[in-house]
Amino acid sequence: MILLSLYFLVSTFEGNSGLKAFKGLQLQHGELSVRAERLANERALMERRVSLLRGGRVDPDMLEEQAREQLGYSHPDDVVIFVD
Q: What is the residue extent of each domain of the chain?
A: 25-52
**pLDDT tens, residue by residue, 24-54:** 899 999 999 999 999 999 999 989 888 877 7
Q: Are 19 and 13 in contact (CB under 8 A)?
A: yes
pTM of the full structure: 0.52
Judged by DSSP in three states, 76 sits in coil
Q: Are 53 and 65 in contact (CB under 8 A)?
A: no
**pLDDT of 19 over the 80 cut:** yes
Write down the pLDDT at residue 55.
67
